[in-house]
Structure 1
Amino acid sequence: MTDKNEQYFTAEPSSQHDYQEISFDFSGKTLFFKTDAGVFSKNRIDYGTRVLLDCVADHYSEIRSGSILDLGCGYGVVGVALKSLDPRRELTMTDVNLRSLALSKENLQRNQLDAEVLQSNIYDGLNGEFAAIVVNPPIRAGKQVVTKMLTEAREHLPSGGMIFAVLQKKQGAPSAEKNLMAAFGNVEILKRDKGYYVLRSTKQ
């Protein structure tokens, strides 16, 4: 029996499968995705992710050399899109949701791209540092989870490494801005779009 209140940040969703195919035009390319029940935004690419990706693409040249982390990758939109910008750059995609990870692997293959795909509860089990961490936090997982995703990013970045995060103003962007400032000593609002804020902090 499926729990009707099951969330997309559940490790092993029990929802009945409901596969769908969607496409996404990004930076002059059309990317293709398979989605399913039990994952975030299965019917379309959510607006916050679109805003985040457009903003990261605009600032991509400012990211230092090194691997990029798609934290909480869902079915892989952010990771696939960023990998398509530079297929030579190393990229890691993580999520707690096993169904999301299986879809991410399949969606990389669909778009003829490759990346490391790992199960991880936030930063648990992640080794090494990343040039950039890109995250659309799972607001429904609660403030504690979102805060940990943002503030503990600093421990996984080298000097000059960046975190990019998107949040809605009404769902905690001002609090996230304060938390990033406390953790990093700096924060920028790179973009405001229909209530969504893209925030960036850099490890000094």
Structure 2
Amino acid sequence: MVSERLIFFYWPLRTNYGKIKSKRWRRNLTNHYYTQNPDVLHEEQHWPFTLLGNELLFTTDNGVFSKNRVDYGSRVLLEAFNAAKTPAGSWLDLGTGYGPIGLALAKRWPDRQVTMVDVNELALELARKNATANQIENVEIKTSDIYDQVTQRYAAILTNPPVRAGKQVVTAMLTGAADHLLPGGTLTVVLQKKQGAPSAEKTMQSTFGNCTIIKKDKGYYILESTKDALV
């Protein structure tokens, strides 16, 4: 028989986040990583992770996406990215978080400049720490709400979009890429099928006139569009 005490603690967790008594639980569940200044209790973590053949050291915290490890989607995105296909120029990591995608790219291709942007100031602070810790200098890390502070055009844009921020945000990231790519530049995106990959494919096809699924892995789709070289 389940005790009354057990029922008391179990029921609020199932019904409504607002009934959770712990301030720590409440604050961390209601503060989303796609906010400018997430109000969280800080719990920094430090751990190594190998990406594109290089071991990187990461510092993460509450209030950022995938704080315990580099998420599987980002890893699949990095492995599928075809750097040789992109024209000369810098690359953009859109929605960088604490920096795993952008820093992995910059470490692997030190001759490329990588711009890393996010709306989350806490995430950007961590990304800067991680760039310093890994002695990566060929990066520019700055605040931008999607493309609002992005002023140049890039040879490649990569993104693991924040699906929890809603379809409107994800769509803006996909459609806006066309104005921020060089001719021949590529947009490479990772999304799970269940989180809207088929819809994103249609959006990219409509925006660029082309979209290829370059990889599927455990429900993750890697989508790629190329900006017309004549544009």
Deviations 1:26-68 (A, max 9, x none): 2321111000000000011111011001111xx1111111000
Aligned ranges 1:130-145 → 2 under 5 Å? 130-145=154-169
Q: Note if 1:72 corresponds to 2:103.
A: no
Q: Which has the higher helix share?
A: 2
2:96 counterpart of 1:84: no
The separation in 2 between residues aligned to 1:110 and 1:11, in whole angstroms, is 24
Instruction: Give distance in 1, aligned partners of 2:75 and 2:149.
Output: 28
- Higher RCO (CA 8 Å, separation ≥ 6 residues): 1
- Secondary structure of the 1:155 match is helix
Q: Where does residue 85 of structure 2 map in the other structure?
A: 62
Superposition map of 1:1-204 within 5 A: 2=27, 4-56=29-81, 59-114=82-137, 115-204=139-228
Report how many aligned residue pairs link the two structures.
Answer: 202
Whole-angstrom CA distance in 2 between matches of 1:47 and 1:75: 15
Is residue 157–residue 188 contact of structure 2 (8 Å, CA) maintained in 1? yes
- Alignment partner, residue 14 of structure 2: none
* TM-score (normalised: structure 2): 0.85
Q: TM-score, normalised by structure 1?
A: 0.96
SS at match of 2:154: coil
Helix, strand or coil at the partner of 2:63: coil
Q: Distance in 2 between matches of 1:98 and 1:27?
A: 26
* Structure 2 portions without partners, runs of 5+: 1-22
Secondary structure of the equivalent of 1:31?
strand
**Structure 1 CA distance for aligned equivalents of residues 108 and 201 of structure 2:** 27
Percent same amino acid at aligned positions?
51
Once superposed, what is the RMSD of the aligned Cα atoms? Answer: 1.0
CA distance in 2, matches of 1:93, 1:67: 11
Deviations 1:120-163 (A, max 9, x none): 00000210101000000000000000001011100001110110
Larger Rg: 2
Match of 1:37, SS state, is: coil
Distance of 1:125 and 1:51 partners within structure 2: 28
- Give 5+ residue unaligned stretches, structure 1: none
